[in-house]
């Protein structure tokens, strides 16, 4: 049971309804996470706007979803792990690639380095060093890509914290959390 009300998209204020309508168009439904966040129109607009902005960024959607499952698993967020596993598959990743990403691994060097960096950001609370950035550049990330990885991690921390702290019911096919290596 969620610790906050799940806003009914058809029975809310016009500002919330407008954003929830966009979300329904994108997903075919309004996932519970957005219904929980809709308790604050400002938080809803912030979250939805961030998803849209990063979706138009330079990182491929597949990599964004791989980062999301790695961060979700590290933060033990069952909701985000389930949602982003589905979204990763829709973005072209195989089930095996999503399972590997959940553990912070990938078969290609560039994705593996992005996942390693993302998890380092989480573990070190942003306190990474020049060597971490050098490794990203060495596999082909530009400053733009590096900043977008940080932004993806930050957005996923937001969504993980919302779902864990507010105990939002998972409405995607469940995925088992893995033990951190």
pLDDT tens digits for range 123-169: 999 999 999 999 999 999 999 999 999 999 999 999 999 999 999 99
Residues contacting residue 156 through CB under 8 Å, at least 6 positions apart: 67, 68, 71, 72, 80
23: Cα within 13 Å, side-chain hemisphere? 25
In a domain, 102, yes or no: yes
Specify the pLDDT at position 180. 63
To the nearest whole number, what is the mean pLDDT of the chain? 96
Model pTM score: 0.95
User: What is the total count of domains within the chain?
Assistant: 1
Place of tokens 């573990």: 123
In a domain, 26, yes or no: no
Q: What value does the mean pLDDT take over residues 104-122? A: 97
- Give residue 160's domain range: 61-165
Residues contacting residue 129 through CB under 8 Å, at least 6 positions apart: none
Specify the pLDDT at position 2. 85
In a domain, 121, yes or no: yes
- Determine how many CB atoms are found less than 10 A away from the CB of residue 71: 29
Q: What value does the mean pLDDT take over residues 45-67? A: 97
- Write the CATH number for 140: 1.20.1290.10
In a domain, 138, yes or no: yes
Three-class SS state of 146: helix
């Amino acid at each position: 049971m969620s610790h906050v009300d799940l806003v009914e998209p058809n029975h809310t204020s016009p500002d919330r309804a407008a954003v929830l309508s966009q979300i329904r168009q994108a997903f075919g439904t309004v996932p519970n996470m957005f219904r929980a966040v809709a308790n604050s129109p400002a938080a809803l607009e912030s979250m939805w706007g961030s998803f849209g902005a990063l979706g138009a960024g330079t990182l491929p959607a597949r990599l964004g979803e791989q980062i999301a499952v790695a961060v979700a698993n590290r933060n033990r967020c069952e909701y985000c792990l389930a949602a982003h596993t589905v979204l990763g598959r829709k973005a072209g990743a195989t089930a095996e690639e999503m399972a590997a990403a959940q553990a912070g691994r990938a078969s290609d060097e560039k994705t593996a380095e992005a996942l390693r960096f993302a998890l380092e950001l989480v573990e070190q609370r942003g306190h990474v060093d020049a060597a971490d950035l050098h490794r990203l550049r060495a596999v082909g990330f530009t400053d733009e890509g590096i900043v977008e990885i940080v932004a993806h991690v930050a957005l996923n921390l937001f969504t993980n914290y919302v779902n864990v702290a507010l105990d939002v019911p998972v409405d995607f096919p469940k995925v088992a959390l893995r033990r951190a290596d």
